[in-house]
Structure 1
Amino acid sequence: MQLIDIGANLTHDAFDRDRDAVIARARAAGVAQMVVTGASREHSPKALELALAHPGLLFATAGVHPHHAVEYTAECDAEMRALLAHDTVVAVGECGLDYFRDFSPRPAQRRAFEMQLQTAVDTGKPLFLHQRDAHDDFVAIMKNFEGRIGPAVVHCFTGTREEAFAYLDRDWHIGITGWLCDERRGQHLREIVPHIPLGRLMIETDAPYLLPRTLKPLPKDRRNEPAFLAHIVEELARDRGAKVDSIAAATTATARAFFRLPVSA
């Protein structure tokens, strides 16, 4: 069984003490490839650097999360475009809108989002998207680029059934994380995931965040890592009434096609 984690924040300082061991545990747990999330001006170059140190195993995205939207200047845009010139950088993002926390003013979020969508148009690379409590504006901005952008995945989907169907109707992909395993906040996802076509479904840990609460035993430090991706697949398979191997194979094939990843050894 080969798995692909489409979103892992491996440059996060939570992994500074044992990053190589984390990567090794992921491989031992069946994670054949990982996409390292670039979510800021600081961490997007680090994501590429880490990916280049592990060719064929790690890949990267380059972008600025809405939390950091105020840093998306013309100079930042040029830096992201330079990173995206590398074949190892496989998607634009993480970019989008987050009205849940509003760490950046909403006008700044919308401007940074639009600039990164234009980058996706210009580079032809897929989009790695973030949306929280901003569905209407998110869809409206994306609509302005309709027909010009390529494939898009709404990563770490936590939204409603209506939002999921709206994204699927636009042929976007959906990334499912350990949020599925949270009985407090993610129960509704168990009713949604059976309706996501396998050709539009991908899996991710969003490590070190979103540790699956149904994982036993839970690590003492409560840190999530890519090695736990198999647990998310098991939960997904149960909710879909499918075999674990079939979900693993389908999500891996979808991720490889979406990010244009090579087949790993």
Structure 2
Amino acid sequence: MATSAVDSFLPEALQFRPGAPLVDIGANLTHESFQRDLGDVIARAKAANVATLIVTGTDIEHAEHAVELAKQTPGIYATAGIHPHDASGWNSDVARQLKALHQQPEVVAVGECGLDFNRNFSTPHEQERAFEAQLALAAESGLPLFLHERDAGQRMREMLHSWRDDISQAVIHCFTADRDTLHGYLDLDLHIGLTGWICDERRGHHLRSVVKDIPLERLMVETDCPYLLPRNLPAKLKGRRHEPALLPWIVREIAQWHDVTETELGEATTRTAQRFFRLDAEA
């Protein structure tokens, strides 16, 4: 069934299996677009040597769903947090539920949490309140942080600087900002997650000149699926939904601009992700 699913959905030109097993550190597999064929999506990921999937929990409901998926499927793990878009709903009950989720063995990071001053679906004050509380939960649990930031780099760095001695590791997922912001995060000893944004010549071209500034031991890769379908694909998909099986194409693009081979980049980012999320190397 897995091979049939791969063959029927992905055009042959997109069926790309790299030599090194990969870790997709940001897959939104609880998104409604995956409800119909999630099993096939996971099978295609395995066929593409995307051996490990970190499923993002952006609120209580999606985090609980991610944990259940991780319990059912080897090689899948979950994060649990409140996205800045949903920060207005932060309260003591949400904090209690998150704390319980962070004690589940399937949960490997606190998040997705952070600041988004681009859309401001929650006010900046609400976002900072929820983020501060989740920084405290990360410090208490010892789990690493899976962070979201848009147009809030300075404030994000200020808040992280205040907590840096108390939290363990943190990754800025789906990094899209400029060189100065990047180096501010690296100076805080943070990790960087890159997506298919770098494959977009319209808005991601600036990332190509800064990729080499990211040490391989600080770099991880992700799809952020179903969003951010790479624009470097050699064939069209049915629909516009992104999925983990396409991560090798993102790795190929990053490797080109980092001036390393795809295998080197794949092996390095997998080692980094396994260390960051404290995964078994065989996972």
- Which TM class, normalised by the smaller chain length? over 0.9
Distance 1:82 1:17 in 2: 29
Q: SS state of the match for residue 90, structure 1? A: strand
1:82 to 86, 96, 100: 100
Whole-Å Cα distance in 2 between the matches of residues 44 and 2 of structure 1? 25
Q: 1-side partners of 2:25 and 2:216: how far apart?
A: 15
2:164–2:188 Cα contact (<8 Å) kept? no
8 A Cα contact 2:161 2:188, kept in partner = no
Q: CA deviation at 1:28?
A: 0.3
Quick one: distance in 1 between partners of 2:88 and 2:273?
31
Instruction: Give the corresponding residue for 2:212.
Output: 194
Matching residue's letter, 1:189: L
Aligned residue for 1:102, secondary structure, equals coil
Any stretches of 5+ residues in structure 2 without a counterpart? 1-19
What do the CA deviations read for 1:214-234 (whole angstroms, capped 9, x no partner)? 112121211100000000110
Determine whether 1:42 maps to 2:61.
Answer: yes
Cα distance in structure 2, aligned partners of 1:204 and 1:16: 20
* Amino acid aligned to 1:19: L
Q: Match for 2:278: what amino acid? A: R
Which residue of the partner structure matches residue 64 of structure 1? 82
Partner Cα separation in structure 2 for residue 15 and residue 218 of structure 1: 19
The answer to whether residue 133 in structure 2 is matched with residue 115 in structure 1 is yes
Residue 12 of structure 1, aligned match among 21, 31, 38: 31
Equivalent residue, structure 2, for 1:98: 116
Moved more, 59-68 or 236-245: 236-245
Corresponding residue SS for 2:272:
helix
1:130 aligned onto 2:142: no
Partner of 2:50: 31
* Identity level (%): 52
**Deviation at residue 242 of structure 1 after TM alignment:** 1.1
Q: In the alignment, what sits opposite 2:194?
A: 176
1:204 to 172, 197, 222: 222
TM-score (norm: length of structure 2): 0.92
Q: Distance in 2 between matches of 1:192 and 1:205?
A: 19
Given that 1:41 and 1:71 are in contact with CA atoms closer than 8 Å, whether structure 2 keeps it comes out as no
* Deviation at residue 263 of structure 1 after TM alignment: 1.9
Q: Secondary structure at the match of 2:60?
A: coil
Instruction: Show the counterpart of 1:164.
Output: 182
1:73 aligns with 2:53: no
Equivalent position SS for 1:42:
helix
Q: Which position in structure 1 is the counterpart of 2:231? A: 213
The Cα of 1:146 is off from its aligned counterpart by 2.2
1:146 aligned to which of 158, 161, 164 = 164
Shift of residue 87, structure 1, vs aligned partner: 1.4
User: In the alignment, residue 208 of structure 1 is paired with which amino acid?
Assistant: P
Task: Give, in whole Å, the separation in 2 of the partners of 1:136 and 1:245.
Answer: 35
RMSD of the alignment, in Å? 0.8
Name the stretch that deviates more: 218-227 or 9-18: 218-227
Instruction: String of CA shifts for 1:105-158, please: whole Å, max 9, x gaps.
Output: 111100000000000000000000000001111111112212000000000000
Three-state SS of the structure 2 residue aligned to 1:144 is helix
| Corresponding letter in the other structure for 2:79 | T
Separation in 1, partners of 2:104, 2:83: 20
The answer to whether the 8 A contact 1:33-1:264 is kept is: no
**TM superposition shift of 1:186:** 0.3
d(CA) in 2 for partners of 1:224, 1:230: 12
> 1:195-253 deviations in whole A, cap 9, x for unaligned?
10000000000000000011121212111000000001100111112111000000000
